[in-house]
Structure formats: C-alpha cells, structure tokens
Structure 1
Amino acid sequence: MKEAEILLKDWKKGHYVFGCNVLNFVGKFAGEFGKTVLLVGSSSDWALKPMEDIAKSLRENGLSYVKVSGAKPNTPREDVYRIALQIAMHKPDVIVAFGGGSTLDAVKASNILATFKPYEVEKLLSVSWSEACTIDPYFGTGIVSKMKDAAGRDLTPMVAVQAASSSGSHLTKYSNVTDPVAGQKKLIVDEAITPKRAVFDYTVTLTTSKNLTVDGGLDGFSHLWEVFMGASGKPYFEKAKQLVEVGVRLIIRSLKTLKTDQSNLNARVGLGLGTDLGGYAIMIGGTNGPHLGSFSLVDVLTHGRACGILNLYYTLFFSPAIQEQLKTLGLILREEGFIVEDVSKLEGLNLGMTVVRGLTRFLESLKAPISLADAGASEKHIARMLNAAKDPALRMKLLNMPIPLNPEKGDVENYMKPLLEAAFKGRLEEVKMVEAYV
C-alpha cells in the first residue's frame, strides 16, 4: 500500500488528503477559497456522522455553511438542476461536496450551470436558446474550458469529499449525468471541473454495503484496465502499467478479504487506494468500449457490474493488440488464484482467452454477472448501445480503441454488434475478431 500512497502524493501534491480520520482537513481546504460554503451531502443514516464531522471542521475554521441534499444514484438531471439552483441562489465562495460519485458528479455539472448564463452559452457555443438553458451543450470534451475562457469567469471552487471506493470522481475531470427517461448516461470531460481540493477518509467506507463495495471495486478495476489496454504506443504506457500492477492487485486482494470480513479496515484502505489509482489512470488516458457500453445500461445494471461484464468480451476482442497488457494482468490473476496456466508462455488468442477466463472466475467469486442477459438486460439495450456508439461526438473514442472501430466503414455493425450479442448470451466464442489483427 505504501507504493500506492507515494503515487497519489506525487500526483496530487498537497491538494489531496487521504487516509483514516482525515475529515478535519475539509475546513482548512475550504478556507483557502473564502468564508461562505455550500455543503452538499446526504442526510441518510450512514452519512450523519461524517457530515457532522465535516460541518465541525468548517466551523472550527471560521466558515459559515448552508446544507443542500446530494444526488440520487447515476446523477439524474433533475438533481443537477436542483443543486445548480442552490448554487445560484446562495453564491458561496466554495462548494464542499460529500458523497459518492453520483453526488460529486452532480455538483461538478451543477457548478457549470450556475456559472454561465444561457445567453452567453447561446452566443459562445452557437446553440439554440432552449438548449442553452440545459446541461446538454457541455457534454463532450473541453467545452467548459471554452466557455470559461470566452466568458472570462471561473467556476466556484469545489472541495470534493469522497465517500465510496469507486469512481475516483473526487480526483478527476469527469462528470456523468443521466437522462432517466432515455435511460442514457452522458459524459462531460474537462479539466475545468476537476475539484480544486479533495479529501477521502477511508473509514467512512467501513459501513458500505457488500453490493456497493463490489460495484465500486469493479469500477476502479475497469478504469485501470481500460486505460492500460488503450496505452499501446502512448507516452503514458509505463505509468499505466505501474498503476495496474499496484492498483489492480490492491482491488482484487481487498475484495477477496471483504467478501468475508466487510469491516476489515486494512482491506477498506486497500480498496480506497486501488480505486484512487483508477482515478489517476483516467486522468492520463481514456476508457473505451466497456465504459461506453455501460452508459446505456443504467436502467438495469450498476456501473461497475456493467463494465465488469463488458470487459470480458472487449478484452478478448482487443487481445491480438494488447499482448503485453494481458501478460501483466494475467500474472496478477495467477498470483491471486484465478489462473492456473503460466501466462508468460502463452500468446495470441490463447493468451487472451486464458486471461478472460481468469477474469470470469474473479467476477464469479464476487457473485457478479458475466452476461448481459443474466444481469437483466434485453435486446433493446444492445440496440441502445449501438445507437449511442454512432454518436458523432464519440467517433474519436472509437478510433482510439486498442483495435479501432470506424463507424463510417460499418465497424459498429460488423464488430461491435456481434460482440454485444456475445456479451448478451455469455458466449465468448461468438466474439467476432478483426482478421487483420488475428
């Protein structure tokens, strides 16, 4: 765990405090930006003590605050608009957000809406006045920074206080927002929404449910693995490899312990560190197919489990192009008892299938689903995923995958569709490979 701590401290310098019993740092961080605070958090039983600890820290640092309720799971739009209204009404010097990824993502998105006026958005982004009143213009990459530079105005500083070992939202430039009616999640990617300061007290996670623990671990695993899969030939390859070697080990070992001992503090710290490294990973590289597909499954699957299922099939699909990555992950899975074979002696599709079977055993050990059908998805979800993949805004994401998919050449229909159908049925052997890579 020491290596993970060093990696995080070297990355975030003094802007991130993590460990046990560290909520008293929140007031100090918030005080760097002013005296009035909007405290966004949960009123649920599990959150009462940490919320009071945060409030106490604010008071001890001479700060005044107003409390606002956080977001429901998956950050539904209505919560984004509700919190944005509170930010606009109170005009705080700083926002302190306490919660899991859903609340932190909601505050990031709400902060954008409270900062820029619709007429500015209409003019500067060339969108209709009706769209300018919504969160829609900001989906994509770098749009918030464009608005910030053009309007000459920054967002209200945010101190993110994480409550779950999962998304890494307290450390990153991402905000996921869900349209519950369409059942579709969309993503804002922008350095401008990265929280100015962050705190994660791992003891807060001691009461996390078994289901949320598993889901958060799988989300962190997916961040690490998807970035590493896409790192071939990139300048961050060695860093992504190091993050996997440290972070994936911590996540797998911690989840194994927490299966039978939910209150094991050492494992809770290990899981928190591992998923934090997942946050580090998605700040140096991008996720790919599994995350893309998961955004269309919000009405039937939690995010981590959706990524967990899809990672099986995309890992096999990408296997001809990610041989070194497979050997790195395969070694970890062998150490943890999920693979028997010596992966150093395997190559090609044989290596890919061996690692994927090891991943399957890992998921099964957590009682996580390994097919979309088993998880309650239907064929309409396949259609939704394929439709989302054809969004022009995602074209570069598809082209930058370990094996590029070009929508204009029919690759979504020719390769992604059979992959998703295989994931639906749970039949790895039906994943259609790209002949040029085999």
Structure 2
Amino acid sequence: MENTLGIGLVRQPNTVLFGPGQRRQLGRIAASMGKSVLIVTDERMAGTDSFADMVADLTAQGLTVDSFTEALPDLPRSNVLAVAERFGANPPDLIVGLGGGSCMDLAKACSVVLRFGGDVRDYFGEFAVPGPTVPTIAIPTTGGTGAEVTNLAIVFDDEKQMKMAIADASIVPDVAIIDPELTVTCPPGLTAATAADALSHLVEGFTARPKNPSPDQLATEVYVGKNRITDVFCEEGLRLMNRSLGTVVETPSDLAARSDVMFAAYCAGMVINTTGTAAAHAIQSPMASIGHTPHGIGVGALLPYVMRANQPYAREEFARMADILGVGGGLESLDDKGRAAIARIEELLAAAGVPLELESLGVSEAHFDQIARSAVTARRLVLNNPAPLTEDFVKKLLARGVANDRSWWAAP
C-alpha cells in the first residue's frame, strides 16, 4: 500500500464547469464545438422545462438539434443500436448526454459508434477505441455516478445478459457541465442511492492499491492505482459527503447540500477514472441479479463488510479517513482511528436509508457460491482491492453481511 513512485495521475475532461445555473452556458459552449448536436436523455428529463430551455438555448446559438429521449436505466446495448440506426447516416458534430449515469454513458458509447461504425461490442475492453470520438458534453442530473468525467461507458448486453464496458481515455467527455439545480427534483430514493454510490467510490478509491505502474501500463491500462492526485480528490469528496449527505436526504431542496454532494460525486468520478473501484462493486454486480437492488444501495450495503475486511490491509488510509471525517480526535492507534472512520461511514449510509445488512436485499447462503464465482472474475476490480479477493473470502464476507455481523473482526 505504498506509492513508491510518488506518481500522480488523473484523466479528465478539457473543461469542467460547476455551479448552480451553469447549464445556461450550454449553447455558447456547444456552438464553439460544431453546428449540429444530438441530445441523448430519458423520457422523464425530456418532459421538463430545463430540457426545453436547453434545446431553445442551443437553437438560439444556431445549432441544429436532434434528440433521442428513450435512454433506459442500466444502459442496454439496444439503446446504442437504436441511436446508431437513427443517426448513423448523418452523425452530429457533437453529442450531449443529459441525465443520470446511463444517459451519459449512452452519449459516450454513441460517440464511438457514430464515429467508427460497427457494433458497440467491438469496443468493449480497455483501450479498444481507435482514436478521437465524436465530441461530447455531459450534464448530470443526479449526484452520484461521476459519469460526467469518467473514461467508462457501462453497457448491459441484453442478448448476453451481462454488463460490459468501454474503458478508454478517448471517451472522457470533452466538457462536463455540473449544475446542482438539476438535482433538486431528483426523487428521494434516487438521491440516496446515487449519493451512496459516490460515497462508495470515494472509500474504495482512497483505499485502493497503489500499483506503481510502468510506462507501458499507463498507456494500456485504465486502472493504474491510487496516487497523489486521486487522494486529493478523495479527501475533498469525503469531507463534503460528511458535511452534507444527511442534509440532502432530509431536505432535498437545500441547494447548498445538493452542491456539496454533487461536487463530491464529481470528485469521486475523477478518482475512479484512475483507481477504479474494488470489492464492493465486484460483489454487487452479481448480487444485483438476485434481488434487483439499485446499484448504489447494493454497494452501500456491502461497504461496512468490505471496509472491515480491508482495514487491516489499509490501516493508514482508514486512519487518515477518520481525521478527514472529524472522528479521529483523541484516538492514538491506527486501528482505533480506522474503526472510527468505518463507523462514521456507516452513519452516513444509514442516513441515506441504505440497509446495513444483506438479507433484506434478498441474499441468502444459497447464493454465496454463485455470487463469489462471478465476483472474482471482475479481475480489474479484484486487483484494486487491498485484501486478497478470493471466492472463499467473498463467501465469508457475504456470511457476515447476511448475519448483520458488524463486530470488529480481524478477517471475514
């Protein structure tokens, strides 16, 4: 767990614009990037005044505007195919992804297919994109995924019934416009789930393995470990979540709290671009097929057990987290501080309404083998986790979660 190279690395958009009301800059920014624009979003967002205002702004700047408003949750491959069929003969100069993570991932996936053709499957994996894609602008309407700044597009292959990813620096959005006002009308359940997801990104990014990558690894691998720059984003994101996560759930109209959580989610996106996520995300993916729990709730429910399992392998990181979260005062040992940090993260998860056990998510002992076998196949995530992630380890961790055993154990 040592960054012996002292390396710092993030991959990021050319421009990030943050702040209440900043969506009104869309037209001017887009006009500097082309003459025709395709907006991809979902049906709910397409019916809002904000969407109509953005279309009017783009039109007033002289752009030709088309839209695809059928984006679905857990972005299905069929969405990408539909956009390619509808707009492939006359691709736009730029694409705007407006909405949650699936809408922004749709924009990124389409930026590849509309530039290079073929099937989105042709680009699954790391660095499989031939070169620059159709320019994109990402505008999030939830505070959680960080997809507005990431080099990932997660696509559910609805024929193969599995999630796949385009992982390539070429698909990082050119511009991210992050306007907290767009999250004020976000439903409470979605607010909580996306905030829990962002919190898990920050925890897993801060405690991920530093990999001390070679030049070849930097050029060919997306997840090259935690480093000096990602730690800066983690610390700021954790501080903001600690201050405002509870408030944004209790008082959704609190714009200051919305701004804090959305900025924390942006920080988390900047982190996982380089560190990746780890055990909680590796286990949640197969677990979701059992109870169909929203992603953020699933990773949040796993996090207490993953943190306990990882703490002996990342003692200094968890101890530092206690200081960031304001719960390390008066504690001297690394282990005591680390436990205080874990307890505080659990308080934040509980404030978001995340169940801190797994049985209520439909998981039972009968599912352990199935989940464990699938979880360890997510090799990029497995290699990020500070504790060795084996099938046996996963099954023992799941047993703790089903039993709601959050005592202080040295190993699952």
TM-score range, shorter chain: 0.7 to 0.9
The amino acid across from 1:346 in the alignment is S
Shift of 1:137: 4.1
CA distance in 2, matches of 1:431, 1:77: 42
CA distance in 2, matches of 1:92, 1:241: 37
Q: Which of 323, 333, 339 in structure 2 is aligned with 1:346?
A: 333
User: Which residue matches 1:4?
Assistant: none
Query: Residues 12 and 414 of structure 1: is their aligned pair in 2 closer, same or farther, counting only changes over 3 Å?
Result: closer
Higher helix share: 1
SS at match of 1:178: strand
Task: Give the percent of matched residue pairs that are identical in Structure 1 and Structure 2.
Answer: 26
Shift of 1:78: 2.1
Query: Residues 186 and 87 of structure 1: is their aligned pair in 2 closer, same or farther, counting only changes over 3 Å?
Result: same
Shift of 1:75: 1.2
Tell me which moved more, 231-240 or 209-218: 231-240
Query: Residues 377 and 263 of structure 1: is their aligned pair in 2 closer, same or farther, counting only changes over 3 Å?
Result: same
Q: Is the 8 A contact 1:223 1:287 kept in 2?
A: yes
CA distance in 1, matches of 2:256, 2:388: 40
The amino acid across from 1:317 in the alignment is A
Residue by residue over 1:334-364, the C-alpha shift from the partner in whole angstroms, topping out at 9 and shown as x without a partner, is: x3xxx6x75742334x555443333323322
CA distance in 2, matches of 1:74, 1:170: 16
| 2:95 aligned with 1:142 | no
CA distance in 1, matches of 2:23, 2:117: 34
Tell me which moved more, 21-30 or 421-430: 421-430
User: Which residue matches 2:6?
Assistant: none
Shift of 1:247: 0.9
Shift of 1:11: 8.4
Shift of 1:226: 0.8
Q: Is the 8 A contact 2:41 2:99 kept in 1?
A: yes
Alignment of 1:319-358 (within 5 A): 319-333=311-325, 335=326, 342=329, 344-348=331-335, 351-358=337-344
User: Which residue matches 1:246?
Assistant: 236
Tell me which moved more, 315-324 or 14-23: 14-23
CA distance in 2, matches of 1:187, 1:380: 29
CA distance in 1, matches of 2:18, 2:228: 25
The amino acid across from 1:142 in the alignment is F
User: Which residue matches 1:409?
Assistant: none
CA distance in 1, matches of 2:410, 2:197: 26
CA distance in 2, matches of 1:286, 1:305: 19
Alignment of 1:16-27 (within 5 A): 16-27=16-27
| 2:373 aligned with 1:395 | no
Alignment of 1:86-101 (within 5 A): 86-101=86-101
User: Which residue matches 1:42?
Assistant: 42
Residue by residue over 1:306-354, the C-alpha shift from the partner in whole angstroms, topping out at 9 and shown as x without a partner, is: 1112221111111112112111222344x3xxx6x75742334x55544
SS at match of 1:24: helix
SS at match of 1:279: helix
Q: Which of 273, 279, 283 in structure 2 is aligned with 1:283?
A: 273
The amino acid across from 1:178 in the alignment is F
Query: Residues 84 and 294 of structure 1: is their aligned pair in 2 closer, same or farther, counting only changes over 3 Å?
Result: farther
Shift of 1:83: 2.3
CA distance in 2, matches of 1:185, 1:430: 34
User: Which residue matches 2:148?
Assistant: 170
Shift of 1:183: 5.9
SS at match of 1:404: coil
User: Which residue matches 2:346?
Assistant: 360
The amino acid across from 2:123 in the alignment is Y
The amino acid across from 2:386 in the alignment is P
Structure possessing the higher relative contact order (Cα contacts under 8 Å, 6 or more residues apart): 2
User: Which residue matches 2:84?
Assistant: 84
Q: Is the 8 A contact 2:281 2:381 kept in 1?
A: no
Q: Is the 8 A contact 1:183 1:296 kept in 2?
A: no
The amino acid across from 2:26 in the alignment is V
CA distance in 2, matches of 1:351, 1:162: 35
Q: Is the 8 A contact 1:227 1:285 kept in 2?
A: yes
The amino acid across from 1:56 in the alignment is A
Q: Is the 8 A contact 2:150 2:273 kept in 1?
A: yes
CA distance in 1, matches of 2:347, 2:379: 33
Alignment of 1:235-274 (within 5 A): 237-274=227-264
TM norm structure 1: 0.80
Alpha carbon RMSD of aligned pairs, Å? 2.8
Which 5+ residue runs of structure 1 have no aligned equivalent?
Answer: 1-9, 119-132, 406-411
Residue by residue over 1:106-155, the C-alpha shift from the partner in whole angstroms, topping out at 9 and shown as x without a partner, is: 2222333333344xxxxxxxxxxxxxx4x3343322122xxx15xxxx32
Residue by residue over 1:61-118, the C-alpha shift from the partner in whole angstroms, topping out at 9 and shown as x without a partner, is: 1101112114222212222222232331441111112111011112222333333344
TM norm structure 2: 0.85
SS at match of 1:23: helix
